Amino acid sequence: MAPSKKKHASNQACVIPGGFTVLPVQFNSDSVAQHKLYVKEHKVRSDRSSHRPMDRTLFVLNIPPYCSEDVAKQMFSQFGSVQSVELMDHPGTSPQDSGPKLSKIFRPAAKQGFKVGYVVFENSSSIAAAKSHPHNVALVVCTEKCLVKTGTQKWIQQYTESFIRTDNLQKIVDSFMEGYDKRKKEEEEKQKEEAKQQQEDEEGWVKVTRGTKARPHSEAANKKTLQAVIRKNKRKELMNFYTWQHRNTQKEHIAELRKKFEEDKQKIALLRVQRKFKPY
């Protein structure tokens, strides 16, 4: 796409195709080089998470690696009070939403690269202020209030922070295990309640007692009924598989009865001849 020939005024925002507003960023006040951020109001309907309200969330692209969540929060605070900042490798739902929140100690090492971010403001007016920011006024990353370390100083800081005190680690582990035990207990109680509500026999009938109403089948109940049907069909298949054996056994039994009947007839005839047969 060819660039637009129309020049922006010095006090106007620069908007590019896709609805993104360009925000220039420089590392410190003495830097000559600038970096570009692309921001847009977060309006994804599929993402209905409570921590990303659509009217107060700003979606940010091309965040440099030296910008942490604290640095981004300080940088965007000039548009208004920032509630939270979330940095990710790719847009989408945070992986922490599907499970318990883990401490940074147990998280995998973060990838070094450009990030996407979700900046949540406390007021919706901050979104308009960020989108109308003049394109010739750069946001400063490293200030006196927020010092950003790079190079060797950053490596030394990361190495120092990698050592964890034993008592702090023990507190984190105990807190996680308490939450795990609580979740397991809640799951067991829920399963017991479902089992109590759905008392079924092997045929899938629900036992209804006085003062209670028949409840619809749950997923666990349907699964149990399906297993009972499968077992019943297997028994039928086994009987059908050995049907020829049953038939042969019955034929042999009938032949044996007939043979015994003929023998008894001969004995009776012999007794009659000898006049020893007295049926009454």
Q: Which residues contact 21 (CB under 8 A, 6 or more apart)?
A: 13, 14, 15, 38, 39, 40, 130, 131, 132, 133
Q: What angle do CA 245, 248, 251 make, to 5 degrees?
A: 150
> Using the 8-state DSSP alphabet, how is residue 97 labeled?
G
- CA separation for the pair 114, 63 (Å, rounded): 5
* Per-residue pLDDT tens listing for the chain (280 residues): 444 444 445 678 788 888 888 988 888 888 888 888 899 888 876 666 667 888 888 999 988 888 888 888 888 888 989 998 888 888 876 655 555 666 666 666 667 788 899 999 998 888 888 888 888 888 888 877 777 777 787 778 778 877 888 888 888 888 888 888 898 999 888 888 877 766 655 455 656 555 545 555 566 677 778 888 888 777 766 655 566 677 788 888 899 999 999 998 888 888 877 776 566 6
Residue matched to tokens 């883990």: 102
Q: Pick from 186, 212, 184: which is nearest to 198 by CA?
A: 212
Q: Is this prediction's pTM over 0.85?
A: no
Token representation of residue 228: 């009972």
Token representation of residue 18: 């896709």
Distances (CA, A) of 161 to 48, 65, 104, 149, 278: 35, 18, 11, 14, 112
Which pLDDT score is estimated for 47? 61
H-run or E-run covering 176: helix 166-197
